[in-house]
């Protein structure tokens, strides 16, 4: 083989490798609910990941740390999905209040260790609703166990809406200089607000060390957090998968941001 031919073949191989890397479709793990009869994830999350260009894979809850580590090794990005309350006594040292609702201990263990393992491995994470709360607790933060009984505000907001899941009922203000602002800046109003859907009675209270607040509701409730210096790790209290799965792609950039970071 002549030197010139070798150079051509080497260059062609590099080009093919580069194209393959560009075309790589990232695998996005979705943390599942845990019930006696099934582990599942709502189709709204699956549809949103597919629309953003990722391959959704359901990750069943387990308390086996080796299995969790293997799951993290097999994915390129992670979505922590919504669901039940988080056990306050075990995970942030507070006695449960009377208004606290159902907890699923194995799912708490799974989600918290899954989040820690993903961040340690450098995998981008998007936490949604409970998923945002899990991110906060996993790294040392605390939660309001029940907003109505714990938060007093001159401008109260209803955070558990009676409306279709894709319909936004209250506004949030997104903070400038944050990753979330960069993602949503094209859809924000002039005062940096946006209308979101809302289905929760718990929320971030003390923000975990290493995280900052990205957005708040009018009553001061934290609506988004993100990790300092790591734009791939963020959580939102609202449900972007609701409108995206119903054909409203306004919040699709949140999922595209995750998929892009996962590449």
The residues annotated as belonging to the active site are 129, 239, 241
Q: 């607000």: which residue's tokens?
A: 193
Please state the three-class secondary structure of 114-181 as a single string. Answer: HHHHHHHHCCCEEEECHHHHHHHHHCCCCEECCHHHHCCCCCCCCCECCCCCCCCCEEEEECCCCHHH
Tell me how crowded residue 251 is: count the other CB atoms within 10 A of its CB: 25
Q: What is d(CA 185, CA 188) in angstroms, rounded to the nearest whole number?
A: 5
Q: Where are the alpha helices (DSSP H) in the chain?
A: 3-23, 43-51, 65-73, 88-92, 105-121, 130-138, 147-150, 179-184, 241-245, 252-262
The Cα–Cα gap between 211 and 166 comes to 28
Q: Rounded distance, CA 208 to CA 197, Å?
A: 24
Task: Please give the torsion angle defined by the CA atoms of residues 85, 88, 89 and 93, in that order, rounded to the nearest 10 degrees.
Answer: 170
Q: What is the DSSP letter of 103?
A: B
């Amino acid at each position: 083989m002549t030197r010139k031919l070798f150079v051509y073949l080497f260059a062609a191989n590099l080009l093919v490798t580069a194209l393959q890397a560009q075309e790589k479709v990232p695998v996005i793990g979705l943390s599942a609910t845990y019930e006696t009869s099934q582990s599942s994830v709502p189709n709204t999350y699956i549809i949103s990941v597919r629309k953003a260009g990722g391959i959704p894979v359901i990750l069943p809850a387990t308390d086996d740390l080796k299995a969790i580590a293997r799951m993290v090794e097999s994915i390129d990005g992670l979505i922590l999905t919504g669901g039940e309350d988080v056990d306050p006594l075990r995970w942030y040292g507070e006695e449960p209040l009377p208004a606290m609702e159902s907890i699923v201990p194995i799912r708490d263990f799974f989600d918290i260790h899954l989040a820690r393992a993903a961040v340690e491995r450098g995998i981008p994470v998007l936490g949604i609703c409970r998923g945002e709360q899990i991110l906060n607790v996993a790294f040392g933060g605390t939660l309001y166990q029940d907003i109505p009984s714990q938060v007093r505000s001159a401008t109260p907001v209803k955070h558990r809406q009676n409306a279709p899941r894709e319909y936004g009922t209250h506004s949030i203000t997104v903070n400038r200089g944050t990753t979330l602002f960069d993602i949503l800046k094209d859809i924000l109003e002039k005062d940096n607000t946006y209308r979101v859907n809302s289905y929760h009675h718990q929320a971030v209270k003390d923000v975990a060390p290493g995280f900052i607040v990205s957005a708040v509701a009018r009553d001061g409730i934290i609506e988004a957090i993100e990790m300092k210096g790591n734009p791939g790790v963020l959580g939102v209290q609202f449900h972007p998968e609701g409108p995206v799965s119903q054909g409203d792609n306004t919040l699709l950039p949140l999922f595209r941001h995750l998929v892009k970071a996962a590449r």
